[in-house]
Chain A
Amino acid sequence: MTIQMLRLMRNALFAIALIAPGIQAAEGKGPRKTLTIGISQFPASFHPLIESMLAKSYILAMTLRPLTIYDAKWKLVCLLCTQLPTFENGLAKKVELGKGKTGVELTYTIHPKATWGDGTPVTTKDFIFTWKVGKHPLSAVGAVELFRRILKIVPNGPKSFTLTYDRVTFNYNEMSGLMPLPAHLEAGPFKRPRDYKDLTTYNTNPTNSGLYFGPYRISQLVRGAYVVLERNPTWYGKKPFFQRIVVQVIPNGASLEANLLAGGIDYIAGELGVTVDQALSMQQRFGSQFKFVYKPGLIYEHIDLNLKHVALRDIRVRQALIYAIDRQKISKALYAGRQKVADSMIHPLDPHFAKGIKTYRYNPRKAAALLDAAGWKLKGRWRHKDGRRLRITIMTTARDRARELVEQILQSYWRDIGIDARIRNQQARVFFGVTVSERKFPAMAMFAWLSAPGSVPRSTLHSSMIPSKENNFRGQNYTGFVDKEMDKLIDQAEVALDAEKRRRIFRRIQEIYVTKLPVIPLYYRAAPFVLPKWLHGVVPTGHQYSSTNWVEHWYAK
């Protein structure tokens, strides 16, 4: 019986192996009309405003376009609008709102040919509807600040409207969060605002062509597995090269790599694919087969220092911690120098980056001297003060291999100057959900911030943003940093319209940041794009607006 069964199995395997290559070869023939992209996550929802998720914005950027966006050169441009409103061109005007408050009126014109996939034009009505959804307290929209700040939207016709914003900020005309919803499809589900998150057409029928007006529309999807995007015939811009784009979800770096090598996918998205170390390892082995692009981005890896800690209250100890670590060497050893060492929280590509501010290079002698000066003297292996050992705990997200590796290297550097650094990691939901957000980390918390170009660091550095039980844990100033000058500068930065003045303010903000050092800057994370040699036109941005916002410029050659 056993031998018969084995024979049967052998024959079956042989038959499958014979037909299998034929199936694959049939797929590979003909001109390239399909591009298959591998990403590591499947979106929870396709609604543009509900749930903030990178996988969702990556896919939706091929199907929808916001009014404005930061391009790959980090410059604010129109995508759905025809002209950016400015004070100079008269499309932006300051208005008195009463009680001494000043706002701004902004006039936007929607692209005249912008049309939803079912043939309905994209109009002012859609924007007014979107605003109503966005500000409704029961609509489950995450970031509603933008919608709250818009006081009114007045239509000037089907394709133009003027909105009133409740304040004048330096980025007053940036409306990247204003992604229109199709009122003709969504008004029905929104009649029950509390259930809207479940009833929205983006969830009940995501392949409805009327939901999209971008170069592609979602034509097919299997949740957790893949999304198929077909060219949208109503798209008003450049005709995309690829007839079809398939976004395949493979939640594992090694499997993504195997799929790329096996031809299951053509391209690993830099925004949501493999880590830098995985890409470097791939490049070593298969460098000649693919193009590797490492785009330095706005993801700022850093260590928040809890300034309640007895030793970390002293600025000399904080400086000693950074002098004791060789960040250049870490970046070179682990990431082949692809992750640029950060000198402050502002990225060098950001227009507000200040050159020539204080930097910290590896200097263990200086670190030791600073600790001596602070009263932490070496006794045996460790430093002590008032009978207490200099012990600090560093925490990060468990199972993040890259961060855990960096932690161990840092621990060894600090041990060399007599600091007893202990590692204690937690699951992301506990780490971010409680430990960091409620400032329960005893000394150091290592994580990353993702921000937009030109962001004002109010939530992370203003003294009113220190989370506590009294303010219901409002704010992200987890270090507990208090500096009156910094508070004043942040208030000024938000409303400084003059670019030169704003640069001066940001320079001072960065000077205080690196001098007082509430945070140890580590590096800016790079996004590794692994592209086939025949794919052209993909321009990584380095910020949170993904390269797919310009997917119509991608082509095969």
Chain B
Amino acid sequence: MIAFIARRLLGTFVLLLIMSFVIYALIGLMPGDPIDIAINADPNMTPEDAKRLKAIYGLDQPIVSRYLAWLSSALQGDFLFSRLHNQPVFDVIMPHLWRTILLMTISFVLATAIAIPLGVWAAARPRTWADYTVNLFCFAGKSMPAFWLGLLLILLFAVQLRAFPASGFETVGDGSVGDVLWHLFLPVLALTLLNIAGITRFMRGEMIGVLRQDFIRTARAKGLSNRGVLYGHALRNAMIPIITILALEFGGLFSGALITEIVFGYPGMGKLIFDAILGSDFNLAQAVLLFTTLVTLLANLGADVTYAAVDPRISYS
């Protein structure tokens, strides 16, 4: 197992190195840069000014030399300054990351906690009204655009009921735990509703497949209770593909939810990444994209390790 993890970690490092160049090159290959746009926004800026600024920000250098300079700093632990925020990259990322982890983890835990039993419950009653209702909810959840659901929730809870704030993550000057949770309510609700739909569908599908298998019939023949069959035998077997899905979702916990963040004015990683890419903020975009890549790779590694724990037939050497 240790040798397996070590090999995977080495592979992760190599992949990160390749990804770092790919990300840098992709952003660099986009035509135009922020200084070109600035010259159109500011009638007082001359082309000479633009040339000078490009030199100051290093945008006049070939992409490969810029990348090598970045890599050399990054390997020494210095991720440089964000051009868009005029702050060290880590100082920019940390508050956004913390807020994103808070938002996404709560909605992820809630969605998983609701979706798995809901999927099992629906699978145990195939082709009944209960199953159809769950399916309808899942299809609605999957087809509903995030911004639309967000606005509906704002209209209901913030505008009509005035029970929760329409946006932001804290009341100015407050920031207590209760206040933060109060602000988190609507974005968490939106994300949870959207996530429940996907996970429930997978769970239901997997469970229906497992419940048709012979060992389930044997378990029932042995006189096990329905609850024992569902949660003791079927769920454990249905969990392997679900773990894969949850591992992939886990990577998303750190990259944020762009649309939800915009609708709820929540300053998280989604908007930060979006602005960094569009604004050609190489240092910031590199750091956040590599970080989310790393988390996704580690989550996948975690999923592989978990398979062995869930299914005794799986072992690594």
Instruction: Enumerate chain A interface residues (CB-CB to B < 8 A).
Output: 1-2, 5, 9, 16-17, 19-21, 23-24, 27, 44-45, 47, 50-53, 137-138, 140, 142-146, 177, 194, 197-198, 200, 203, 220, 222-226, 228, 246, 248-252, 254-255, 258-259, 261-264, 427-434, 436-437, 447, 449-452, 455, 459, 467, 472-476
Contacts and interface: CB of A to CB of B under 8 A. Distances in A.
Given A140-B56, A437-B36, A264 B179 contact: no
Contact of B85 (A1, A44, A140, A250): A44
Given A143-B42, A258-B155, A429 B280 contact: yes
Interface residues of B, number: 71
5 contacts: A142-B53, A145-B49, A197-B56, A246-B172, A248-B168
Contacts of B110: 9
Contacts of A144: 49, 52
Interface string B1-40: 0000000000000000000000000000011111011111
Contacts of A252: 262-263, 265
Interface string B274-311: 00001010000000000000000000000000000000
A432 B280 CA distance: 14
B256 to A, nearest CB: 12
Nearest to A252: B262
A135 to B, nearest CB: 11
B243 interface: no
B117 A262 contact: no
Interface stretch (B66-74, B156-164, B247-255): B156-164
B197 interface: no
Nearest to B84: A44
Contact of B56 (A20, A21, A138): A138
Contacts of A24: 162, 165
A434 B271 contact: no
Contacts of A198: 81, 86-87
A21 to B, nearest CB: 6
A94 B40 CA distance: 33
A449 B43 contact: yes
Interface of B: 30-34, 36-49, 51-53, 56-57, 81, 84-87, 92, 95-96, 110, 113-114, 117-118, 121, 147, 151, 154-155, 158-159, 161-173, 178-179, 181-182, 185, 262-265, 267, 271-272, 278, 280
Contacts of A431: 32
Nearest to A457: B43
Contacts of B172: 220, 226, 228, 246
Contact of B41 (A52, A145, A222, A459): A52
Contacts, number: 197
A459 to B, nearest CB: 7
A100 B51 CA distance: 30
A201 to B, nearest CB: 12
B166 A262 contact: yes
Contacts of A447: 40
A76 to B, nearest CB: 16
A433 B50 CA distance: 11
A398 to B, nearest CB: 12
Nearest to A263: B162
A177 B32 contact: no
Given A20-B182, A142-B42, A433-B31, A475 B47 contact: yes
Nearest to A467: B47
Given A198-B86, A228-B172, A223 B95 contact: yes
Contact of A1 (B37, B117, B264): B117
A143 B47 contact: no
A145 B92 CA distance: 32
Given A17-B163, A262-B165, A142 B45 contact: yes
Contact of A143 (B45, B264, B278): B45
B84 A143 contact: no
Contact of A225 (B39, B147, B168): B168
A16 B185 contact: yes
A51 B44 CA distance: 12
Contacts of B264: 255
B278 A222 contact: no
A258 B158 contact: yes
Given A19-B178, A145-B49, 14 more contacts: A51-B38, A52-B41, A142-B45, A143-B49, A220-B172, A248-B265, A249-B265, A255-B265, A259-B166, A264-B167, A430-B31, A430-B32, A434-B32, A449-B43
